Every structure is written in structure tokens, then in C-alpha cells.
Amino acid sequence: MVYFKNDGVYITADGLFSLEKTFLCGQCFRFEKKDSGFSGIAFGRQLSLFEKDGFVILRGVGEREYDEIWKNYFDLERDYSEVNKLLCRDKVMARAVGSSKGLRVLRQDKWETLCSFIISQNNNIPRIKSIISTLCRNFGNDIGGAFSFPDVSVIAGVGEEELKVIRAGFREKYILDAARRINSGEIDLDAAEKMEYPEAREYLTRLKGVGGKVADCALLFGYGFLEAFPKDVWIKKAVEKYYGDNFDESIFSPYGGIAQQYLYYYERLIAKNGKTG
């Protein structure tokens, strides 16, 4: 249930919306833990939110902003209890759901997601966040002391030397190539949304530096293609450990992307706690 009050939007969590699990699972890079909640920027808007008395509260958000941005961003029209019930038919995933329940797959800006995961290649989360923060500070718009993610047209007009300020190394040429080809219309990010998943995946991999994993991350977190199942180091190890060589992500259909996030969070939690799974 969603309630609109003077101080913001109140969303009933019901054990199906955890800010910590949602923001700390590697799917986005512009929200930080702050005081009793999180704060960050998406779609050029600043947001502070926290959990209290069984609610997730979006501070200072009105009904229109909620409908236009945050409802879709947090995938709030999807019944995750039904998703979890389906995924729990698999014994391994049932354990992962038990640890990861409350994690929601975000629906982020397409260009920001693609660019962020180009930056993520062979990188760790603190450094990814640092590079993205520098990119926004140098090329984004000032929105009250914080900075929006720079528009694709802005990055398309940046020179190679100028972009070196973000210190992204070999990834800089991939960012520039993507921005210029998208800005010129050679690659249409909105068109990919209308394709079937295999076609959209092939389409994005036409960009330099965008392999299957980056394309899958962009399609899952920026487009809502829930059949996408990105395979990073953590997921590859988890798949090998629990399923062996004959793994087929279609066993989680149509929620492979949500299963991937649960498995990622579960495996990171096990590693953090020094368990074996």
C-alpha cells in the first residue's frame, strides 16, 4: 500500500522492500547510506529515503513525482511475493530468497545504466562510484549542490583529453564511442526497448566495450528485461558451486534477473560472514 502524506510517500514494506538490500547489491552507484536511510540521485532528482515502523518513506516526494519517477524506479507495481514463490521452487534459490528478500530490481535511466556498467568493467564498487561521481561533478548539471548524470549529448561533445579527468583508463574510449554513436542516432537506446531480449542484447553489443555482461546489466537494470542474467565473477562462482556445468538460467524464467540479484546478494553475504553456503 502507498500513502501520500505532507512529509512524503509512505510505502508498506511487508518484508518485500529493503533499502539496504536494494542499494547495496551492485545494481546502482549513486545512492549512499546516510544516517538512518539512504540518499542519492536518479533521473536528475535528489531523493532521501528511510525505513520506519514497517514503511519505506520517500522524504518530501509528492504524488506526481512518485507516479512519474519513483513508482517505476523501484518496480513497485510488481508483486514480489509471487516472484519469490515461483523462484523458491528451486532449493538453492529458496535459500537465496530467504537471505535476499526485500531486494528490488531498479529501473534506471538507460544511458546512465549503460555508461555505468561500461565503467564497471574489471573494477570494484568503490572505484566505480568514484569515477561516476567525478563524471557527474565535471559534466552533469548542478541540482542544489549535487550533480545529475551528464546527458549523452554532453559526453558526445567531450574531447578525449577532457574526459581523462574521470580517470577511467581504457574505459574512457568506450564511453566516448557509446555517447557519440547514441547521440548521432546510429544506436537508439529507446529502440532497444521494443526489441525481444536476444535482439536487444545483440544490438547493444555493437558498441565498443559492451560485451554480453555489460549488455545484460543495461537491459536488466535500465530496461526491465528480467530474463537478462548478467554473469560477473561472483555469479559465475555461485553457479559453478551450486549448479555445476549444466546450469541453464531459464529455470528461473521469467524472473532470471531477479534471481541473479538474489544469488549475488546471498553469495556476498556468505562471503562476508565467512560461511560456506
The model's pTM is 0.95
Query: Looking at residue 271, what is its pLDDT?
Result: 64
**What class, spelled out in words, does domain 110-223 have in CATH?**
mainly alpha
Residue 277 pLDDT more than 90?
no
Supply the angle between the helices 171-183 and 110-119 in degrees, to the nearest 10: 160
What is d(CA 196, CA 36) in angstroms, rounded to the nearest whole number? Answer: 41
Query: Looking at residue 272, what is its pLDDT?
Result: 67
Query: Looking at residue 229, what is its pLDDT?
Result: 97
Residue 273 pLDDT more than 90?
no
Quick one: average pLDDT of 144-163? 97
The separation between CA 89 and the C-alpha centre of its own chain, rounded to angstroms, equals 25
Quick one: average pLDDT of 198-205? 98
175-192 pLDDT per residue, tens:
999 999 999 999 999 999
Point out which residues pair with 37 in neighbouring strands. Answer: 34, 50
Query: Looking at residue 177, what is its pLDDT?
Result: 97
Quick one: average pLDDT of 152-163? 97
Sorted by where each begins, the domain ranges of the chain are 2-76, 110-223
40-87 pLDDT per residue, tens:
999 999 999 999 999 999 999 999 999 999 999 999 999 999 999 999
Fold entry, domain 2-76: TATA-Binding Protein (3.30.310)
Specify whether the CB–CB gap between 167 and 134 falls below 8 A: yes
What is d(CA 226, CA 205) in angstroms, rounded to the nearest whole number? Answer: 18
